[in-house]
Structure 1
Amino acid sequence: MVIELVLIFIILLCGSFVQGVSGFGFGLIAMSFLPFLFTVKESALLVITLTFILSLSIAVQLFKHIQWKSLLVILSAALIGRVGGFLILHNYGDMDILKTFLGLFLITVVIYLFWNESPNPEKKVNGTWLPIVLGLSGGLMGGIFAVGGPFFVFYFLLVFHDNKYAYSANLQVTFVITAILTITLHGVSGDFSMEFISYFLVGLVSVLIGSRIGIHYFAKLSQQNIKRLAAVVVAIAAANLILFG
């Protein structure tokens, strides 16, 4: 039990640090390793709940940079996607096959992180179908695997390519609001166990420490290098999930 809690603390500390530095990555890191200890359902619920705390902590610090009008379409679509994600996780979250699907999705995200090009500042960002598609996709994947961040990252990098504080602030608000919906739906459905409390408390301390450190180094470390390092770690874990999950 003690070793398990230590492993959870380390995994979540690394994930929260990456999120504090780059704006996302907590779910990617955490969901790459937690399913080796729990089911996908248990892992996702822990990550989503802690994402709420972590993102709220960062959003409060960057509150003045939030641009609410830019959130309307993508956030509305994300909430719809989260309902679909809830239905799948609630009914099938204990099945081992989800670990394979999670591994495949993580590999896809790694490919995106490595080959994603910098946004073109002169290219006009579509304000209708693009945020709808990305919002639905991010909401669905976030609701099932707690790793819907890349879809939102892609959109907000396009919209706020010249303002990394607005990018991070709007990203965190999206995580906060979608997490509230998911936590409420699973709470009403009785998906949280008593053991969850101990894991949550350990995770809470971990993410608060990790995010503080990450925010401290936000302006000092290269976001791109942090993402690449995280991508390598996620790729290794994803391969293990596919082969041995």
Structure 2
Amino acid sequence: MFELQFIVFVAVGASIGGFVNGIAGFGTGLFALSWWLLVLPPMTSVLLVVALSLVSGLQGVVAIKQNLNWPRLLRFLVPAFLGLPLGFLFLESINVQFLKVLVGVLLLLFGVFFAFRSNFPRMARDNNFGDMLTGFAGGVLGAVAGLSGALPTIWSSLHGWNKYEQRALLQPFNVIILGTVFICLLYKNPIHDQFLFALFISIPFSVLGSQLGIFTFKKLTDNQFRRLLVWLIFVSGIVLLIRETSDLIIPLI
């Protein structure tokens, strides 16, 4: 039997993760894992994150499908698929926790630098090489840590794209890359009843959270959305650092 606490924590994580993904196009894992890891094993939590990222992400893709820019998206996606095998290879040889801490520091520094600025610097034109490099790194991080959207989110916020253009990149990029990661994880890890029950609980709460996030997204101006992204990057860095360093710090206290 699953306790009420289990159901509540899974539902709250799904709601928060769905809302953040609905409004920003990324962030399910960063904001839901803090709840799910309290009641679920790490691998089950990761599987749930990727599954719910797809549930939330597909709703977002439908909402912005008319804004899809395939040439731009492919500049990110093709290198990302090249980065995925490298990321899976790294899993066998690197300290994933250390890598997550580095990503958390990067998110935090970017957020601190831009969150309190009145104006955002914008690139005068597209940087194709930068797009491809960011996509490649997103593929590597997606395979290693499920953080495919971290660097593309930072990179897209430096462009002069409107909120729909940014969302039309981030949402399908995350859905496709994390969908591929999910298939690979399912191939390597058997499905347990605990995961299926957590997924059964999570889906309706994730859908509701995503719809509320999409509704909020449509109400934001381009500048409000860009500023919201920066603050979410900042908060994501804090959450990631706390989660990945807490087990190292607590024994020292």
Specify the TM-score bucket, using the shorter chain as the normaliser.
0.7 to 0.9
Distance 2:32 2:17 in 1: 6
Secondary structure at the aligned position of 2:218 is classed as coil
8 Å contact kept, 1:55–1:173: yes
Structure 1 runs of 4+ with >4 Å offset: 97-101
- Higher-Rg structure is 2
Secondary structure at the aligned position of 2:126 is classed as coil
Letter in 1 for 2:104: L
Secondary structure at the aligned position of 1:111 is classed as helix
Q: How does 1:1-12 map to 2 (within 5 A)?
A: 1=2, 2-12=4-14
Structure 2 length as normaliser, TM-score? 0.80
8 Å contact kept, 2:57–2:175: yes
Q: RMSD across aligned C-alpha pairs, in angstroms?
A: 2.8
Partner of residue 152, structure 1: 152
Distance 2:161 2:182 in 1: 33
Matched positions, count: 238
Q: How does 1:57-68 map to 2 (within 5 A)?
A: 57-68=59-70
Structure 1 length as normaliser, TM-score? 0.82
Secondary structure at the aligned position of 1:180 is classed as helix
Query: Where does the alignment leave 5 or more consecutive residues of structure 2 unmatched?
Result: 249-253
Identity, in percent, stands at 24
Matched, 1:193 2:192: yes
Partner of residue 137, structure 2: 137
Query: Where does the alignment leave 5 or more consecutive residues of structure 1 unmatched?
Result: none
Partner of residue 251, structure 2: none
Letter in 2 for 1:188: Y
Partner of residue 84, structure 2: 82
Q: Deviations 1:174-226 (Å, cap 9, x if unpaired)?
A: 11211221122222223433321111122211211111001111133533247
Distance 2:180 2:34 in 1: 23
Partner of residue 125, structure 1: 126
Partner of residue 207, structure 1: 206
Partner of residue 244, structure 1: 247
Instruction: Give 1:36 shift.
Output: 4.1
Letter in 1 for 2:79: A
Partner of residue 231, structure 1: 234
Distance 2:63 2:207 in 1: 13
